[in-house]
Amino acid sequence: MPPPIPLSRGSRATVRVVGAAAALGAPGAGPAAAPDALLAAGLPERLNIRGILAEADAVLRPPAPPALDAPMAERLAAAGAYARRLADHLAALPADSLPLVLGGDHSVAVGTWRGIARRLQARGALGLIWIDAHLDSHTDASTHSGNIHGMPLAALLGEGAEALSGVPGPRLDPAHVCVVGARAWEDEELERLTRLGVHVFTMHEVRRRGLDTVFRDALAIARNGTAGFGVSLDLDAVDPAAMPAVLCPEPDGLDAQALADALHLLRGCGDVAALEIVEYLPERDPRGGCAAWVAAFAEAALGPGTHALREKEHRFGAHNYAPLPVVFQRGEGVWLWDVEGRRYLDMMGAYSAAAFGHSHPRLVRALTEQAGRLALTSRAFSNDRLPLLLERLCVMFGYRRALPVNTGLEAVETALKAARKWAYQVKGVPTDAAEIIACHGNFHGRSIAIVGLSSVAQYRHGFGPFPPGLKLVPYGDPQALEEAITPSTAAFLVEPVQAEGGIIVPPSGYLSRCAEICRRHNVLLIADEVQTGLGRTGRLLGCDHDGVRPDGLILGKALGGGLLPVSAFLADNAVMDVFQPGDHGSTFGGNPLGAAVALEVLDLLFETRIWEHAERLGAHLRERLAARRPPCVREIRGRGLLIGIELHPDGPSAALAAELLLARGLATRDTHRSVLRLSPPLIIDQDTAEWAVDTICDVLAALPQRH
């Protein structure tokens, strides 16, 4: 056994989780329990699973707190003494560690940021982003409530009682400090911050400009001219609908997910000095939902960046893909977010699988509800979802039987096995003589049998020998099909549009001619609609463009709602009844989880008739592309929202165009070097799609043109 490989640190320091278990500034003791509750909920372990090297450091507990009605001086002295201890502790942590401080009430921040400023002192100033519903900028002279947790920002800026403001360490420079999300303050606080020159991004401004934009401005304030910066997150900044477990909830706060997205921007910042999360109240979080958000915020901010993750993928993964240089962490609708919080328009749609976009709420609900009930039984038993899916598939697509599998290639294999057995049992082809005909330029998957059908040298090279009885004919040429058919031909396997082959659209009427030829020769016409089916080409099925009903129909990709692999082969009894128990199967095929999602997909599909939108928008986009057509473009083609932009072979490569588009926030890929592929989620709206087309034309027009 080789020795275990230690997990790599990446470029990030080890995160030291420090508990500041004090509520000396709060009107109640609740927040003091927060660090223990978050540690018990497994926060460091969760961070470790997400690629962050995190270690629980210490939980600093204060001595018995003074009574709530004790004189202010006594309470300030206690809070100040605790802040000193915390500052000393943080200042002494190893230089290559990154502190994550879990409060406590917000008064602990005086200790956190004085300690962190000391760590940075030799190199320069500390910048600070204070995310909070409140301004926390009272002093003991101005406070209305008498609560010290309303004072830490003023103290860090050097104002107020010496007990707090005098905690050893550099004062914050107001020019490098800003507040984000404020929506509840008293005049004295705003006057103080305004006088000092601290920038306040109110909730009103966040709503108007978007948190992402505001947060980028906040980063500029905290980073420009500083040696490092920190983020102090008071959880009451978040809307109480998602974060009720705080001491002082204020309505209309930050959207929790938008905050997590913004915090991802920190992953791109090598100068993060510390993160602090305060004012969590475990007693109001019986189901742990708020603790999960705390972990999500920490993970968003401290997780590995693009470079570290790509390095791991390259180091530990087989090199059978060469992904573009982006690492996505979240998807919603037509948008994807990378680990540094950048947003991209998804013009790939996961090779047409994400037809309803990412995380469609109805599909996610179907998935999670079913996952909580029953996900897998194997087909040694029946489950209560699969029969409903089988019936729905047969009724909707007009076949007598369906056979469920997982990936598209399994469905293609299933179809080929059915066709061969049908040839022997029904057609009377001599044993082991059955032939399958497919088309040049096809893509049906990557198993040995299926790449045996491929005409692409790279897909085949080194993987032979292949099964016998596989033949190819030119795509779009019915005459060639007829000439290739022999008495032993079992099936003709064809894609209504060759997607991976370069978005090749056959001449109109091609499939109906093929169907007629197959009928005459008693050959099965099997349509691989893994990519073209379920609305992609502007009709329910790609075959519908030619009014053809194939003898066998292969569905996949979009059937799983972009959530998990669900595919199926559909045919009538004469074909499907060749299968007897034990002939064919798969452990996961027909599982109730996939069936529940696919049922919801089909419901959504017929409810929205999304193919009509795909037809209209696809035609509009092709027209718009044609009207602007940059000189390097040779041809624009496609059906519905499956569009190919072919570039001149002696001009710039489509791969280069895809990289440049990525830098403009548009994610797509080339196929076969010269074709740029557009297959966005079918739910994309017209304005967004037009933006995509205009961006593509701008990028293509700016490429060096050689032809």
Ligand X SMILES: Cc1ncc(COP(=O)(O)O)c(C=O)c1O
| 392 vs 622: CA distance, rounded Å | 34
Catalytic pick among 528, 544, 551, 670 = 528
- Tally of CB atoms within 10 A around 231: 26
Residue 464, judged by CB atoms within 10 A of its CB (0-12, 13-18, 19+), counts as: exposed
CB of 282 to ligand X, least distance (A): 44
CA angle 335, 340, 341 (to 5 degrees): 40
- Whichever of 383 and 531 has its CB closer to ligand X, that residue is 531
Provide the residue type at 136 as one letter. D
CB of 554 to ligand X, least distance (A): 7
CB of 594 to ligand X, least distance (A): 13
- Tally of CB atoms within 10 A around 391: 12
Provide the residue type at 610 as one letter. I
| 595 SS3 class | helix
Residue 245: which of 280, 276, 271, 212 has the closest Cα? 280
- Whichever of 155 and 530 has its CB closer to ligand X, that residue is 530
- Tally of CB atoms within 10 A around 241: 12
Tell me how far apart the terminal alpha carbons of the chain are, to the nearest angstrom.
56
> Any alpha helices (H) in 423-509, and if so which ranges?
448-451, 457-460, 478-484
421 is catalytic: no
CB of 590 to ligand X, least distance (A): 16
| 43 vs 290: CA distance, rounded Å | 12
| 150 vs 106: CA distance, rounded Å | 8
CB of 672 to ligand X, least distance (A): 13
Residue 576 near residue 418 (C-beta atoms within 8 A): yes
| Residues found near ligand X in the complex (CB under 6 A) | 351, 407-409, 412, 443-445, 495, 499-500, 528, 530-531, 556
- Whichever of 261 and 670 has its CB closer to ligand X, that residue is 670
| 369 vs 702: CA distance, rounded Å | 48
| 327 vs 311: CA distance, rounded Å | 11
CB of 406 to ligand X, least distance (A): 8
CB of 407 to ligand X, least distance (A): 4
- Whichever of 58 and 350 has its CB closer to ligand X, that residue is 350
Residue 15: strand pairing partners: 54, 98
CA angle 405, 411, 412 (to 5 degrees): 165
- Whichever of 445 and 681 has its CB closer to ligand X, that residue is 445
**Minimal CB distance residue for ligand X:** 408
Catalytic pick among 557, 569, 579, 670 = 557
Residue 197 is classified by DSSP as: T
384 is catalytic: no
Residue 337: strand pairing partners: 330, 343
- Whichever of 159 and 410 has its CB closer to ligand X, that residue is 410
- Whichever of 112 and 352 has its CB closer to ligand X, that residue is 352
The length of the chain in residues reads: 707
Residue 267 near residue 303 (C-beta atoms within 8 A): yes
- Whichever of 503 and 518 has its CB closer to ligand X, that residue is 503
Enumerate long-range contacts of 448-451, CB under 8 Å, 24 or more apart: 449/413, 449/416, 450/409, 450/412, 450/413, 450/416
Residue 243 near residue 279 (C-beta atoms within 8 A): no
CB of 557 to ligand X, least distance (A): 6
- Whichever of 309 and 499 has its CB closer to ligand X, that residue is 499
Catalytic pick among 297, 356, 397, 443 = 443
| 168 SS3 class | coil
140 is catalytic: no
CB of 37 to ligand X, least distance (A): 43
| 21 vs 325: CA distance, rounded Å | 42
Which residues are annotated as catalytic? 443, 528, 557
